[in-house]
A and B are shown apart, each in its own frame.
Chain A
Amino acid sequence: MAEKPLARGAGLITPDPWTRLQSLTRARIALGRRGASLPTREVLAFGLSHAQARDAVHQPLDVAALACGFHAAGYLTRTVTSQAADRGVYLRRPDWGRRLAEASAQQLQTWPAPPGRLVFVIGDGLSSLATQRHSLPLLEALAAYFPDLHACPVVIATQARVALGDEVGQLLGADMVVVLIGERPGLSSPDSLGIYLTGQPRVGLTDAARNCISNVRPEGLPYAEAARKLAFLIAGARQLGRTGVDLKDDSDERLPGERPEPFLLSAAF
């Protein structure tokens, strides 16, 4: 039997005959192997992805551009910062990322925005890329359920952790705060947005008081789906009187197939 010419490591690598499944997922499946080890090309690809994810953590949020987008869409915004002065401190001191800088707290107290039942906090979190790309499209998708959504105060926060929303919500007298924040970037998803819903926000709450929708981005949970889940959770929270582990995401109960009944909620009343 004639030997095939060796090209690009052919014959060295044992291929996995399920590479077609790669079209269904971004997971690193069917990588092949040499003995028990990863092929060199996969080791190199992994290293590149890791470097890109590290960059996403450290890239600052373009606050001016983001605020501009929200204004153009008709929202009232304010910009605040946490007590973490820079990224290095932010990474080491999550507690500082959960509290507003003194000046920001004062500024919010004097904001003549209409006290809304619902307040939105747009935070950079660990991926400014996610916030930059997905926060406004998600809010616009949510507006399908809330005709008066554009009256809700929008607070853009830098060096922010999820719990920063508690202080913002408390200062603005909100019934509920929705925090949209960049999730820590993964190798295959540097721009996942997380949504956290917290009822009766006040300083000192724990994550047990929140509900979370994660991995919001076109390749993950699309805007329309995420907005539907969020509207469902807000409606459920109003009915239950609280958010957190007692509030369950049953928005898929009516699936599969049929579209859920459209429902409209009020943001401000």
Chain B
Amino acid sequence: MLDGLLYGAGDAVIGINPASDSLPAITALLQLIDGFRQQYEVPTQSCVLTHVTNTLRAIEKGAPVDLVFQSIGGTEAVNASFGVTAAILEEAMQAARGLARGTVGDNVMYFETGQGSALSANGHHGADQQTLEARAYGLARRYQPLLVNTVVGFIGPEYLYDGKQIIRAGLEDHFCGKLLGLPMGCDICYTNHAEADQDDMDTLLTLLGVAGINFIIGVPGADDIMLNYQSTSFHDALYLRRVLNRRRAPEFEEWLERMGIADYRGELIAQTEQQPLLALAGLEDTRRG
């Protein structure tokens, strides 16, 4: 989280993929990020990416939930395989809105999708995966989400075999999301069993940037050590911002400037150990010790 913020990332959401879906672990993580966010007045929202029913239980126990995460698909069968129904999503959305944590708007849902999920769950009814992906966006739209993220190369080579197919699917998803008026973003990614590499991701990153992508997922050094796949790095996002002159959310930009992380142009400032965010990690103590 610190690595990302100090690289100027995180204006859409700070998300954690938990290694455990246990309620105490999830609640502890939610409280950890929320405490940090409040202390440093970071203008963003947080999310622990766990099953919607876990988030519902966390809300019931009073956990600070900004966004409700859920993977969704384009048929009832694939959603059943994810253990969700339209009614559960509705219930979760109402529960999160009930917390009234947002300062602007009441968009409390964060959905993830990806071509091939229906086939993976044997719930495709013979339809092609792009059509089913677009249907998932239709479902997402019912809940006025803050973020819809296509995790494009996540599932693997049985659905998108190589870099070329992943690039095409990423653009298709972005296009369909735009048509449906969704706040569409992309986790530009691939797995180690696909015929793809980081050069392909650089290409897709640039193409999506030019096409006006709303957000991209960043992980430290492009290496997701929890889910074992490669995405884009915080450095990659900096490249895209610089080349295409894409600014961060205004309130986040102001915060970065206030914290001495970026200058008025949005360019990163070289950091020292006196950076207040690093005090959080106790670095000063270890330096003296």
Minimum CB–CB distance from A206 to chain B (whole Å) comes to 4
* A250 lies within 8 A of chain B by Cβ: yes
In the complex, are the beta carbons of B3 and A54 less than 8 A apart? no
In the complex, are the beta carbons of A208 and B238 less than 8 A apart? no
Residue of A nearest to B121 (CB): A206
* A42 lies within 8 A of chain B by Cβ: yes
A residues less than 8 Å from B48 (CB atoms): none
Produce 1/0 per residue, B1-19, CB < 8 A to A. 0110010000000000001
Which one, B99-107, B153-161, B170-178, is touching chain A?
B153-161
Task: Give the residue of A14, A184, A207 whose beta carbon is less than 8 angstroms from that of B156.
Answer: A184
B residues less than 8 Å from A21 (CB atoms): 2-3, 281, 283
In the complex, are the beta carbons of B220 and A29 less than 8 A apart? yes
Which one, A88-96, A108-116, A136-144, A149-157, is touching chain B?
A88-96
Minimum CB–CB distance from A255 to chain B (whole Å) comes to 7
* B235 lies within 8 A of chain A by Cβ: yes
In the complex, are the beta carbons of A27 and B225 less than 8 A apart? yes
* A104 lies within 8 A of chain B by Cβ: no
In the complex, are the beta carbons of B222 and A29 less than 8 A apart? no
Chain A positions 174-219 with a Cβ under 8 Å from a chain B Cβ: 183-189, 192, 204, 206-208, 214-215
In the complex, are the beta carbons of A245 and B268 less than 8 A apart? no
Task: Give the residue of B20, B193, B220 whose beta carbon is less than 8 angstroms from that of A126.
Answer: B193
If A189-B228, A245-B83 touch, whether A53 touches B21 (CB-CB below 8 Å) is no
Minimum CB–CB distance from B167 to chain A (whole Å) comes to 18
Residue of B3, B191, B233, B271 with most partner-chain A CB within 10 A: B3
Question: What is the interface of chain A mostly: helix, strand, loop, or mixed?
Answer: loop
Minimum CB–CB distance from B106 to chain A (whole Å) comes to 27
A residues less than 8 Å from B283 (CB atoms): 17-18, 20-21
If A38-B235, A91-B193 touch, whether A208 touches B221 (CB-CB below 8 Å) is no
Residue of B nearest to A25 (CB): B225
If A14-B270, A17-B273 touch, whether A186 touches B23 (CB-CB below 8 Å) is no
A residues less than 8 Å from B241 (CB atoms): 36
If A36-B268, A53-B192, A206-B80 touch, whether A27 touches B158 (CB-CB below 8 Å) is no
> Interface size for chain A: under 10, 10 to 19, 20 to 34, or 35 or more residues?
35 or more
Produce 1/0 per residue, B166-193, CB < 8 A to A. 0000000000000000000000000111
Minimum CB–CB distance from A252 to chain B (whole Å) comes to 4
In the complex, are the beta carbons of B192 and A185 less than 8 A apart? yes
CA A49 – CA B25 in complex, angstroms?
Answer: 30
Task: Give the residue of B57, B120, B235 whose beta carbon is less than 8 angstroms from that of A94.
Answer: B120
Minimum CB–CB distance from A224 to chain B (whole Å) comes to 15
Minimum CB–CB distance from B243 to chain A (whole Å) comes to 9
In the complex, are the beta carbons of B235 and A37 less than 8 A apart? yes
In the complex, are the beta carbons of A42 and B24 less than 8 A apart? no
In the complex, are the beta carbons of A56 and B270 less than 8 A apart? no
- 13 residue pairs from A and B, CB less than 8 Å apart: A17-B283, A18-B283, A21-B281, A29-B2, A36-B242, A46-B221, A46-B222, A49-B223, A92-B157, A184-B228, A186-B223, A204-B122, A255-B24
Interface residues of B (CB under 8 A from A): 2-3, 6, 19-25, 51, 53-54, 57, 80-83, 120-122, 156-158, 161, 191-193, 197-198, 219-230, 233, 235, 238-239, 241-242, 268, 270-273, 275, 278, 281, 283, 286-287
